[in-house]
Structure 1
Amino acid sequence: MKKILFLLAGVFACHAAQAQYFCTAEGTKLHYVNYDEVGQSTSDEEITVKNVTKEGNTVKASYYDKIVTVKTKNNTSYTLYNWTYDGTVSTCTEDLMYGPYVDSDSDPARYDTAARLEWTEKLKFKGDNSFSIKDGAEAGENLPDRKFQWIRNMLKNDVTISGASYMGTEQVNTRAGKFNCVKISYLKRTKIILKTTTLRVNEWYAEGVGLVKSESFKMDGEQAGKTLLVKVEKN
């Protein structure tokens, strides 16, 4: 019983009283499973919460993400999400330079602003790949469009996020539990050389946790993929 209570306390610690849409319990691990269009598992993700700081109304945390792809060689990759909450808005930016930096056999512990800027130049990153979630947003409110480009696997990627809006709140049930979430929907267009892919993406975010569920659909309505939070683990 004590063990169960301890685990529950860890989960509730991740659901902080503050309204930020990310976890501020240092060392917490968020486990996700990614699925393809037919519902087969394609990869597992383990996000570790680090670098939690608070100054006044501003709270920050970093999500270090380890991604293991199923049944492939050299199947481990990394990315980093930096979250900030200013008292009314939670903002997340994926650091697309972190993964290539780690892949280059550089020491992850030495990754800093100078290293990020160096890799930003190498990968020719331009634009804005951040997104924000406003406290108390009403269904139908729009979010700003954004676009960015960078070199991935020696190919130029142009990504445009458009038509984003809040879709209200919903309760989402996963293996990790029940979560009251805000739902966001947007169009994601990715252009690589002459090939352009457009997906409708729906995402559900819970206060004190972050992403709980994501679904993407092709423009004909066929599902393209899904991500689910399956476990919240207190260190």
Structure 2
Amino acid sequence: MNTTLKKLKKGVLLTLAAVLTTAFAYSQSNCSKFYPIEEGTAFQYTNYNKKGKIEGTVDYTISKVTAEGSATNATYDMKYLDKKGKDLFETNFNILCENGMVRIDYKSLFPSQMMQQYTEMGLEMDITGTDIELPNDLSVGQELPDANLTVAMNMGGIKMNTVVDQTNRKVEKKERVTVEAGTFDCFLVTETSISKTMGMTIEMETKLWLAEGVGMVKQESYKKNGALTSRMELTKFDK
């Protein structure tokens, strides 16, 4: 049982790290400046470790877009591959754009594939939290709402809770950034991410570079002591 729970803990943290730190996508529509809202749009981010070596890729495709009154809802299909090209997991999640604000449904962030696997193992799961929000109009010094995701698990009376808090979200400055996909004028958004599970706490500082009409072009994560742990860059786009 301990081995199973350790695997669950690793899987949950990997999953939440992948989906929460890639919450900012790219392209522009009348509804959103920082998320694609057009069916068929496909793009890719590449993950690198602290030494600059490739750790994996995250591929997105927008499979469905629907109108709900004054709001637009888009379904993102997501595939996470490791450095050897092995499919680690696939899932989809929804974003809602309305009145100049984009919201990501926190419940849809947890992979359905993993949910099914855990259910078959006899695992009970309860997911709560707050939606991730990003306004269209960003400005230097602007503070953004906090976000939270809590996953409570119970397997045969043994419980495991995983909590991820995204706090201190702020637009720090504007600067030009160059990645494999090109050079962009960006807003730099910083935040603190705290993950807690099975007595273990991981606190990271994250930097996100967002460009109007493009969205996230780069993301870096740091330990509390300022040491770089990973980065993510936009590497492919097909619209």
TM-score w.r.t. the length of structure 2 is: 0.74
Q: Deviation of residue 152 (structure 1)?
A: 7.3
Tell me if 1:78 matches 2:90: yes
Please give the residue correspondences for 1:5-44 in structure 2 after superposition, counting only pairs within 5 Å. 14-44=27-57
Q: Quick one: which of 194, 205, 213 aligns to 2:210?
A: 205
DSSP-derived class of the 1:187 partner: strand
Q: What amino acid is aligned across from residue 211 of structure 1 in structure 2?
A: M
Cα distance, 1:172 vs. partner? Answer: 3.0
Q: Which residue of 80, 104, 125 maps to 1:92?
A: 104
- Residue 20 of structure 2 aligns with which residue? none
The residue number in structure 2 matching 1:165 is: 170
Native 8 Å contact 1:20 1:89 kept in 2: no
> Which secondary structure does the structure 1 equivalent of 2:126 belong to?
coil
CA distance in 2: counterparts of 1:37 and 1:139, whole angstroms:
28
Are 1:184 and 2:189 counterparts? yes
Equivalent in the alignment of 2:75: 62
Counterpart Cα distance in 2 of 1:202 and 1:135: 18
Partner of 2:11: none
Mapped partners of 1:89, 1:174: distance in 2: 27
Distance (Å, rounded) in 2 between the aligned partners of 1:93 and 1:81: 7
> 1:50 touches 1:62 (CA, 8 Å); kept in 2?
yes
Once the two structures are superposed, residues 12-40 of structure 1 have per-residue CA deviations (whole angstroms, 9 ceiling, x without a partner) of: xx443554321122111111101112211
Which residues in structure 2 correspond to 1:115-130 (within 5 Å)?
Answer: 122-128=124-130, 130=131
Give the paired residue count: 206
Structure 2: distance between partners of 1:89 and 1:35: 30
- Give unmatched runs, 5+ long, in structure 1: 1-13, 107-120
Cα distance in structure 1, aligned partners of 2:100 and 2:129 = 24
- What's the counterpart of residue 139 of structure 1? 140
What's the CA shift string for 1:102-159, capped at 9, x where partnerless?
Answer: 65799xxxxxxxxxxxxxx93221222x221122232222122332211579742111
Deviation at 1:223, TM superposition (A): 0.4
Query: Do the aligned partners of 2:140 and 2:173 also contact (CA within 8 Å) in 1?
Result: yes
Distance in 2, Cα, partners of 1:57 & 1:206: 25
Q: Relative contact order (C-alpha < 8 Å, sep 6+): which is higher?
A: 1
Asked if 1:231 corresponds to 2:232, the answer is no
Distance 1:166 1:193, change over 3 A: same
Corresponding residue SS for 1:123:
strand
Distance 1:152 1:105, change over 3 A: closer
Q: Which moved more, 1:160-169 or 1:95-104?
A: 95-104
Consecutive aligned runs of 4 or more in structure 1 exceeding 6 Å deviation: none
Which secondary structure state, in structure 1, belongs to the residue aligned with residue 114 of structure 2? Answer: helix
Instruction: Using the aligned pairs only, state the percent identity.
Output: 24
Contact 2:124 2:154 in 1 (8 A): no
Q: Secondary structure at the match of 1:125?
A: strand
Q: Is the 8 A contact 2:77 2:93 kept in 1?
A: yes
Cα shift at 1:68: 0.6
